[in-house]
Amino acid sequence: MKPIDTFFDHEQDYPDLDVSGAAERLSPAVQCETINCADPSLTDLAPFDQLHNLIRSGYPHVMTAGTMEVLGRRSLLITLPGSDPDLRPCLFMSHQDVVPVVAGTEDDWT
């Protein structure tokens, strides 16, 4: 296993990165309670819509350059065309939902 500091070897490669702006966009996103329930009828879809709106407003250049589609109940597909159509495509994946905190264990979290 790699030491944790190995993952930070290239932090200085982007001196123009707006770190505070990135944190400002990330903070409200991680506060969206996008909880998927085992029974889909119990899932509140409003937080997913809230997160999608934050993505749209927080990343206007991405939205202008590409397309954002909602698939199924609330999955997203964001497609960005490359500058050279002869190159192979690239796929980045993530998830939007979070695991709910088990009632009674709230004080165990920091």
Residues 6+ apart with CB under 8 A from 98: 33, 34, 35
Return the biggest CA–CA distance within the chain.
54
Would you write out the chain's pLDDT as a tens digit for each of its 110 residues?
Answer: 777 777 677 777 888 888 898 899 889 998 999 998 888 899 999 999 999 999 999 999 999 999 999 998 888 999 999 889 899 988 888 888 887 788 899 899 87
| CA distances from residue 88 to 34, 67, 91, 93 in whole angstroms, order as listed | 33, 19, 10, 17
Strand partners, 35: 98
pLDDT for 40: 87
The pTM for the full model equals 0.74
Residue whose pair of structure tokens reads 């770190």 in the numeric block: 19
- The confidence score (pLDDT) of residue 52 equals 95
Residues contacting 86, CB < 8 A, separation 6+: none
User: Whole-angstrom distance between the N-terminal and C-terminal Cα of the chain?
Assistant: 25
Closest residue by Cα to residue 66 from 42, 98, 89: 89
Residues in a beta bridge with 77 = 69
| pLDDT attached to residue 77 | 93
